[in-house]
Amino acid sequence: MIGKLVIASILTGIISGFFILLYEFLVIFMSHLFFWGDPLKTIPTLPVWYVYAVPTVAIFIVNYISSKDKNIKEYGVSEIAESIAKNEMTLKVKTLFLKIIASALSLGSGFLVGTEGPSAGIGAMIAYHIHRLFKLPTMLVKMMISVGASSGIAAIFVSPITGMAFAVENIAYQFIKQYISYLIIASALAFAVTINFLEPIGFQHSIGKAFSSDYFVVNLIFIPFITAFVFLYLFLKQRVLYLIDHKIFKKFQRFRNYIFALLGGGVVGTILLIEPHAGFSGQIIVKHLMNQDVHISLLLIFGIILLRIIGTTVAIYANAVGGIFLPLMSIGALTGYGFAELVSMYYLQVEPFYFAAIGAAVFMGVIMKLPLTAVILAMETTFDYNVVIGTAISVVLVEYFSSLYFDIRKKYVTKRYRKREALQTKVEETDESKGKI
């Protein structure tokens, strides 16, 4: 059995690595095809109607593909594993390819979703089929899916330790003592496949173990600052779009996907026309902010933050296929960079790229409830104690303050609210019928 598990883990890591490469290259190809070259350079030269048409047509195609296979939209690795273990879901090879195509269309057309959600899903699907190929016991399906998910994350981020932490925090915690070795080998191999082709998120300004008390003090001020932007994101997602979806469009639920597809295409098109850097997954802007020595204007920074918050939340409701890991990192990086610019103007001189790195990890860690992954991501991308310590303190406190006013869960808010809305509607109908009697 141990021999089978070792071989299965090796195959999962290698195959996941190659599939993630295929997926990433397809996303790049799609974006260059849709926008006639590098979108960041070509979008300002394209006709306005065309920039609006690309995301709108793409999201209608994505919705059509998703209607043929509901599993394409599933990103929650733990939920997938639980459903498979209960024989409530099967993942076909067809689903794997459709998920890659749907996600590439979403990302390539400018929707503000990330590559990590589909990457984890791709790895999970590959692991699931290897589990079936080797005829492993049903009790090991969760373990194999977590192996696959860690491979996908390690490959797309070109960060093996982050991949392991993601899997452990999402699904594999109950298996850690017995099966951590298989996560390690699969993540390391997936990383080895992609390292020569994809560029990891790096931090060129690391000073290693040197620690500055000035940054520690300023980071305490940063905590309420980034908490305010977390509140803004959650308010828009859990209140405003919920109101639009379940109140304003309540009478048009049959056309819900069409309405949000049009809304999503319009919002993304507007964002791309205003500032192309504010669109797409956000990986480019995270790298730019973490390693840029040239200061960016505060007006542009906070303008892009607002656009990305709106674009990310609308993309989720429009059923764009992708994750929110990278989009959340980009919002956090922008928030941290803007904060450092403000502090430098009125308090003391601090380097914006430090807080861009802290903000990226913290914003993702809080919204996705992955504090350990946030700290490890900060460590693996920066190797700088100022960033790691700042992230560790901030992610815990910001999550605590946010939880006082918002119910943050790993599952999609839209699904949870739909169930709640359905129950509420049922109660209202019952009360009305009682009143009539």
Domain membership flag for residue 423: no
Cα separation, 362 vs 367, whole angstroms: 9
Domain membership flag for residue 18: yes
Domain residues for 176? Answer: 2-194
- Residue 424: per-residue pLDDT: 46
- Residue 169: per-residue pLDDT: 75
Same domain, 71 and 180: yes
Same domain, 116 and 226: no
Domain membership flag for residue 202: no
With beta carbons less than 8 A apart as the criterion, state whether 357 and 328 touch: no
Same domain, 365 and 272: yes
Same domain, 131 and 268: no
* Residues of the chain scoring pLDDT < 50: 411-437
Same domain, 316 and 383: yes
The whole model's pTM is what?
0.83
139-165: pLDDT as tens digits:
888 888 888 988 998 999 888 888 888
Same domain, 228 and 168: no
Domain membership flag for residue 430: no
Same domain, 72 and 163: yes
Domain boundary residue, one of 165, 194, 223? 194
Overall domain count for the chain: 2
The residues with which 323 forms a beta bridge, in sequence order, are 114
Domain membership flag for residue 163: yes
Cα separation, 311 vs 325, whole angstroms: 14
Domain membership flag for residue 208: no
For the stretch 396-404, contacts whose Cβ atoms lie closer than 8 Å and that sit 24 or more positions apart, written own/partner, are 396/371, 397/223, 398/223, 398/226, 398/227, 398/230, 398/362, 398/366, 399/365, 399/366, 399/369, 399/371, 401/223, 401/224, 401/227, 402/227, 402/230, 402/231, 402/234, 402/366
Q: What are the structure tokens assigned to 207, written together?
A: 């000073």
Q: State how far the alpha carbon of 366 is from the alpha carbons of 82, 291, 391, 399, in Å.
A: 24, 23, 11, 5
Q: What CATH number should be reported for the domain holding residue 302? A: 1.10.3080.10
Domain membership flag for residue 433: no
Query: Crossing angle for the helix pair 116-133 and 77-85, nearest 10 degrees?
Result: 30
- Residue 410: per-residue pLDDT: 57
SS (H, E, C) 308-374: HHHHHHHHHHCCCCCECHHHHHHHHHHHHHHHHHHHHHHCCCCCHHHHHHHHHHHHHHHHCCCHHHH
Domain boundary residue, one of 140, 166, 194? 194
Helix (H) or strand (E) holding 283, with range, is helix 283-291
Same domain, 49 and 133: yes
- Residue 361: per-residue pLDDT: 94
Q: DSSP state, 297?
A: -
Domain boundary residue, one of 194, 226, 254? 194
Domain membership flag for residue 371: yes
Same domain, 52 and 187: yes
Same domain, 296 and 344: yes
Same domain, 223 and 141: no
Same domain, 133 and 272: no
